[in-house]
């Protein structure tokens, strides 16, 4: 059967060309193909040598990645791994590698109080738990009922029974927990531009510049809440799976101006497919520190992502 490709919105393509002029064709090519499936270890339930033995014994084909440690590209069929004991028992979690980066950058540690502000379906909440272990105070918030149920299911399968879950809007976190957390994750709802797939118009049909601007407002409200919930000296990671600067650098720049004593920390990871945050957009200059934020460029197995790390020096 001949593949049917649909046209992406022209306004969106113009934006991508302006953001990535030197690699525009390469980025556009990633919209033609589905990403390779990737997964990671759940260290709450197994260790890496044992997991690889289990996968080999169960006939699951994979390629282990050098980074992040404990991550893999799936070479078997998706249905095969979904039938495997490793999957059913929660020893692994299917997650795009780009999505694994924000919790790694958050660096959760034993004894810390950690908040996942927009937690469903639980990918980053469960990864935080896998990285830090059980001896943390972990709170996950999700406002939508259906997504909240998905969060509960993920945490149950992954063995994260020590997390406190709240079916509540993340905008309430700052009011409910002012100055409380050591670490806050804000993986904000976004326009999902990095997930566009030209064979599936549903992936990009809802997109419009108006929607991007509306989401930018929501993201600013959420990051404000997250920063308010941080204790002095606390750290926050902000991330999206979209390209639009209005949802990325503009949101971070707004937060830096809103909170005195908030500063950016280096968001750097050992990736060849990355670039620095934009210094300006459409004539508007951003903080001179914006180059410390990171844009992950899409490739065969990684989605496009934007990630910023901030520290709250004082109230």
For residues 70 and 102, membership in a common domain is answered with no
Q: How far apart are CA 228 and CA 249, in angstroms?
A: 19
Report field, pTM of the whole predicted structure over 0.95: yes
**118 in catalytic set:** no
Q: How far apart are CA 7 and CA 230, in angstroms?
A: 43
For residues 252 and 222, membership in a common domain is answered with yes
Neighbour count for residue 66 (Cβ, 10 Å): 7
For residues 206 and 264, membership in a common domain is answered with yes
Q: How far apart are CA 312 and CA 315, in angstroms?
A: 7
User: Is 116 a member of any domain?
Assistant: yes
| pLDDT > 70? residue 5 | no
CA angle 263, 269, 272 (to 5 degrees): 130
Which of 28, 118, 190, 241 is labelled catalytic?
Answer: 241
The sign of the torsion formed by the CA atoms of 189, 109, 113, 146 equals: positive
Range of the domain at 256: 10-35+98-312
User: Is 3 a member of any domain?
Assistant: no
Q: How far apart are CA 239 and CA 228, in angstroms?
A: 17
Q: Verify cis geometry, omega within 30 degrees of 0, for the bond prior to 217.
A: no
pLDDT digits (tens, 9 = 90+) for 140-182: 999 999 999 999 999 999 999 999 999 999 999 999 999 999 9
Task: Find the length of the chain.
Answer: 315
* Contact residues for 118 (Cβ-Cβ < 8 A; gap 6+): 141, 142, 170, 186, 187, 188, 189, 222
Q: Which two tokens mark 160?
A: 């994260």
DSSP annotation of 200: B
pLDDT digits (tens, 9 = 90+) for 46-101: 999 999 999 999 999 999 999 999 999 999 999 999 999 999 999 999 999 999 99
- If one counts the domains in the chain, the total is 2
User: Is 2 a member of any domain?
Assistant: no
Last residue of a domain, one of 45, 61, 95: 95
């Amino acid at each position: 059967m001949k593949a049917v490709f649909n046209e992406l919105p022209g306004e969106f393509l113009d934006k991508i060309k302006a953001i990535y002029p030197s690699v525009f064709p390469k980025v556009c090519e990633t919209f033609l193909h589905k990403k390779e499936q990737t997964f990671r270890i759940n260290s709450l339930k197994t260790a890496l040598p044992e997991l690889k033995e289990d996968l080999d014994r169960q006939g699951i084909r994979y390629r282990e990645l050098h980074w992040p440690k404990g991550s893999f590209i799936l070479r078997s069929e998706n249905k095969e791994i979904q039938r495997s004991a490793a999957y059913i028992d929660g020893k692994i979690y299917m997650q795009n590698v780009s999505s694994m980066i924000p919790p790694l950058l958050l660096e959760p540690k034993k004894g810390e109080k950690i908040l996942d502000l927009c937690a469903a379906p639980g990918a980053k909440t469960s990864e935080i738990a896998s990285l830090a272990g059980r001896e943390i105070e972990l709170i996950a918030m999700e406002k939508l009922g259906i997504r909240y149920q998905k969060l509960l299911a993920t945490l149950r399968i992954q063995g994260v029974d020590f997390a406190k879950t709240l079916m509540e809007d993340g905008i309430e976190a700052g009011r409910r927990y002012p100055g409380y957390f050591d670490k806050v994750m804000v993986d904000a709802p976004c326009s999902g531009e990095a997930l566009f797939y030209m064979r599936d118009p549903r992936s990009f049909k809802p997109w419009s510049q108006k929607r991007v601007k509306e989401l930018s407002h929501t993201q600013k409200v959420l990051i404000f809440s997250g920063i308010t919930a941080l204790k002095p000296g606390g750290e926050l990671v902000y991330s999206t799976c979209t390209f639009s600067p209005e949802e990325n650098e503009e949101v971070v720049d707004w937060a830096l101006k809103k909170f005195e004593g908030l500063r950016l920390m280096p968001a750097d990871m050992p990736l060849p497919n990355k670039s620095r945050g934009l210094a300006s957009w459409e004539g508007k200059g951003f903080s001179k520190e914006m180059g410390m934020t990171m844009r992950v460029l899409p490739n065969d197995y990684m989605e496009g992502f934007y990630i910023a790390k901030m520290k709250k020096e004082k109230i």
